[in-house]
A and B are shown apart, each in its own frame.
Chain A
Amino acid sequence: MQSKTKELDPILEVNNLFASIENLPILKGVTISVNPGEIHAIMGRNGCGKSTLSKIIAGHPSYKITKGEIKFTGNDIHSLEPEERAQSGIFLGFQYPIEIPGVSNLEFLRVATNARRKFLNKEELDTFDFEDLVKEKLDLVKMDSAFLSRSVNQGFSGGEKKRNEILQMALLEPKIAILDETDSGLDIDALRVVASGIKKISNEQTGIILITHYQRLLDEIQPDYVHVMSDGQIIKTGESDLALELEKHGYEWTDNFIKEQ
């Protein structure tokens, strides 16, 4: 593995995080650290806590952190509202993007982009300037501009919804992007489009966490680290070949790690 980022400060540090929803513990001591330019993959069975981890980092109000901390660019973010986290550069790509009837996608994207730009002390964009910007980004995900005039995610196919997520990522230029099963429900072509979009958006300053079940996304985007999660803990961390092992042996194989622990 390259040691390209060793001297840099991590963008995201999750330290021994315990969290629960309605008193049901979900995370039981998760630790992960992402440096600029790194791509991490988190794999694991359904219900192991992957999505919970991503929602907690984004600030979902239903989850309660009972122990541990999340640091973003060195600062504890537990008191920040979800919108403040987003404005400062945390992006969550949803596994199931939410439909919002009546709210135009274009207006939604513009308000979101301007909220981020305001945080970065950049000039906010009016409708015309924003349209120019968004059209440029549409190409990244091979989306048609007709998407812009529809309501947010309403009536979008699974693949369209996921592409809309990546479009948002492109516009918001986050410091860290957590992509929760962005590959699920995509056919191979759509997967390539999404993967190439992610690759074009990310750069030396961006950290990426890919939450996925499948090797096929990781064939497109090579991760620096692979973490295997089980029952609210990361039970093994390795390099990209760990994902291949998983693919070969299935999750049952990982049960041995728990026993080893």
Chain B
Amino acid sequence: MVSENLVKDVVSEPYKYGFVTDIETEKISKGLNEDTIRLISEKKEEPQYLLNFRLNAFRKWQKMNEPNWADLGYKKIDYQDIIYYSAPKQKEKISSLDEVDPKLLETFDKLGIPLTEQKKLTNVAVDAVFDSVSIATTFRKELAEHGVIFCSISEAVKDHSDLIEKYLGSVVPANDNYFAALNSAVFSDGSFVYIPKGVKCPMDLSSYFRINSGDSGQFERTLIIAEESSSVSYLEGCTAPMFDTNTLHAAVVELIALDDASIKYSTVQNWYAGNEEGVGGIFNFVTKRGKCIGKRSKISWSQVETGSAITWKYPSCILLGEESVGEFYSVALTNNLQQADTGTKMIHIGPRTKSTIVSKGISAGNSINSYRGLVKMGSKAFGSKNYSQCDSMLIGDQAAANTFPYIQSQQPNSEVEHEASTCKISEDQLFYLQSRGIDFEEAVSMMVSGFCRDVFNQLPMEFAAEADKLLALKLEGSVG
């Protein structure tokens, strides 16, 4: 019974990150063929094995079909109408952050991610990616003292080629799926993290992805390797300007955890979502997967997905090592005509592996928000356990929420537990809070953050506050 207009006003907050940085860029021409791939590889001065990896992926991609099983509707993507490499023009060699184009530094400043020595965030190291390239990484020296490598993947290809050759594509093979194959063929930059044996990374690591140009796609690639008994917490943030065209973002993230290692990967995704009529916005097709290779290793995904016109994303864990642990905590908020089809896959292979899934979907406006998840117990996964909880909250009468849990078990001695619920913010609840002096917006925001609490508790502290704020912002507006 909540008045449609009221809710519409409340959940429609103007996008704050929609500005465009006016900067000279080097772009290659639109279109995708083997020459495009050779050109990208050449620009990045890559070794032969990597070019082969790309070409191999491209040939496979050409034979694949765009997946249509998700509950998503969108205009067909013209892959020949995309620019696959776009980089701000910079000096050839940059020896320090101070040589980075001030316009770029200013851009990240405006996004709340200051990079310069004087202003940089003190408790977190940042890799800033602008369109196709990484422009700066902070705290590299300090991290190096602990043996931690944190740099752009392009640099890693040059400086740590052995690790790249060993691990790239080892979790998400080039032909894994349509969008992963595309990424493997044309990926331009992203972050690389290596935590050596026994090291607890002294600070949180973070990548900030900024799409600036309207006609180029972003295809970043992230690879994180945690050696035996090491641990790291990694954060990822994303924003993009407002364009009335759709921009394709197809990323691949691979995580590898060896014996007793733990990786916590948190995302706050706030790509431009398009306007109220559903014009513009990012198409976000992302493959994220972690492999718990080692015994007692742990990979934990937390995500707060609020942006993008379309989100297609299933951060997953392959639980190979015995007693390894996979976790997935997700909040996905959709509004207007946004569509999200997101969830996870927990593949239990090793014995006594455990996984937890907590998914909270909030749908407002005319949006569609689907949870899609797979829990698989392999034949050797005896004594393994999964617990899944999928809750949906509807705001208004036009929004839709779906839950598609898939469960496959080949091991009778394993447990899979699934709980699901759907609720709606009711007029009675709102009136109750209002009748205690709490205004409408705050009432909605309190209920939404209450609904998401289980997930926010999993986020790193600064991130949790930011996520709460972000949801509040999305839900803020004049009450009509």
Contact = CB atoms under 8 A, between A and B. Distances in A.
Contacts of A81: 434, 439-440
Given A97-B432, A100-B433, A103-B450, 6 more contacts: A81-B434, A86-B436, A87-B437, A102-B452, A108-B438, A112-B433
Contacts of A104: 450
Interface of B: 1, 3, 423, 426-429, 431-440, 442, 446-447, 449-453
Interface in A93-132: 94, 97-98, 100-104, 107-108, 111-112, 115-116, 119
A85 B434 CA distance: 9
A39 B458 CA distance: 50
A79 interface: no
Given A98-B432, A111-B442, A116-B437, A61 B447 contact: no
- Majority secondary structure of chain B interface residues (helix, strand, loop or mixed): helix
A215 B3 CA distance: 39
A59 interface: yes
Contact of A86 (B3, B435, B450): B435
Given A62-B1, A98-B428, A98-B429, A82 B435 contact: yes
A100 B432 contact: yes
Contacts of A112: 433, 436-438
Interface residues of A, number: 30
Contact of A61 (B427, B433, B449, B453): B427
B134 to A, nearest CB: 39
Interface string A41-79: 000000000000000001111100000000000000000
A83 B438 CA distance: 6
The 4 closest A-B pairs by CB, nearest first: A102-B450, A115-B437, A112-B436, A86-B437
Given A103-B450, A151-B450, A172 B427 contact: no
B453 A92 contact: no
A112 B434 CA distance: 9
Contact of B436 (A61, A62, A115): A115
Contacts of B427: 61-62
A93 to B, nearest CB: 10
Contacts of A206: none
A85 B435 CA distance: 8
Contacts of A97: 432
B437 A61 contact: no
A228 to B, nearest CB: 26
A83 B451 contact: no
A61 B431 contact: yes
Given A61-B3, A81-B440, A111-B442, A102 B435 contact: no
A18 B347 CA distance: 64
Given A61-B3, A62-B427, A86 B432 contact: no
B440 A60 contact: no
A94 B432 contact: yes
A168 interface: yes
Contact of A59 (B433, B434, B438, B453): B434
Contacts of B447: 100, 102-103
27 contacts: A58-B431, A61-B3, A61-B427, A62-B1, A62-B427, A81-B439, A86-B435, A86-B436, A92-B435, A94-B432, A94-B435, A98-B429, A98-B432, A100-B429, A100-B447, A100-B450, A101-B451, A102-B451, A102-B453, A103-B446, A107-B446, A108-B436, A108-B446, A112-B437, A115-B436, A115-B439, A151-B450
